[in-house]
Copies of this chain bind each other. A is one copy, B any other.
């Protein structure tokens, strides 16, 4: 699970690494079914678009077995421990849908901007690692990244309470344009099971999905245990307060669950 020297250098330069098909179709299938289960739940953690379509299930690792296993999967936890230089805990866990036709925009932002301002996370010693549960294409609202933008530190932002149902510290257009003129703008696309890791300082966004195909991505936001948040203001299932280091499970933990489901069927 170790990142190579070349990968470490690319992460340092670009602020992200993309691994198409890192999880098997079988593993991605288990997680996709889990997403359908949690989106069918009526709980505070499950947020919807203005249209009623699911948008985000927070903290799904606490109430779904497949997402619990993914939350300690060595393919996710170990490279992040390597990059952050030590044990990590789960700061945030999101299963983000981008519903067919109705999936809304996420405006340009840095995650650490929100974590610093809202949660008093001391340093950007935290990052995201995500798994695609559907094929992500140019058509269904891919994540857009500005390579190299993580080198800018925390960029000035305004609190957007209007665009969508989720409050977010977003960047102004002049800043986004300036960063993209330097670094460009990329949209990693790939099959279900692809894995994307990116710096908590990387500027990113995602467009609305007008296509007839939904797409769901799970995001783990992992934080170095020494860098735990100081301000417990947001809901505990949005900015977690359990700072216990994650002990990675075995590499076949999801495949095992798929086998169990198959033999039970």
Seen from chain A, the residues whose Cβ lies within 8 Å of a Cβ on chain B are 100-101, 105, 107-108, 137-142, 144, 173, 176-177, 180-181, 185-187, 189, 205, 207-213
Contact = CB atoms under 8 A, between A and B. Distances in A.
A212 B180 contact: yes
A40 to B, nearest CB: 20
Contacts of A107: 210
Contacts of A209: 207
A101 B144 CA distance: 13
Given A173-B212, A208-B210, 20 more contacts: A100-B177, A101-B176, A105-B210, A137-B185, A137-B187, A138-B138, A139-B142, A139-B186, A139-B187, A140-B185, A141-B207, A144-B211, A176-B212, A177-B212, A180-B211, A180-B213, A185-B211, A185-B212, A207-B211, A208-B208
21 contacts: A100-B173, A100-B177, A101-B173, A105-B208, A105-B210, A107-B210, A137-B138, A137-B187, A138-B138, A138-B142, A139-B144, A139-B186, A141-B207, A144-B210, A173-B212, A177-B212, A185-B213, A205-B211, A207-B207, A207-B210, A207-B211
Contact of A138 (B108, B189, B210, B213): B189
Contact of A187 (B138, B144, B208): B138
Contacts of A105: 208, 210
A130 to B, nearest CB: 17
Number of copies: 2
A106 to B, nearest CB: 9
Contacts of A185: 137, 139-140, 211-213
A137 B186 CA distance: 8
A89 to B, nearest CB: 32
Nearest to A188: B138
Contacts of A189: 138
Nearest to A207: B210
A177 to B, nearest CB: 4
Nearest to A142: B138
Nearest to A206: B210
A261 to B, nearest CB: 25
Nearest to A105: B210
Contacts of A173: 100-101, 212
- Interface centre among A105, A139, A140, by most chain B C-beta atoms within 10 angstroms, is A139
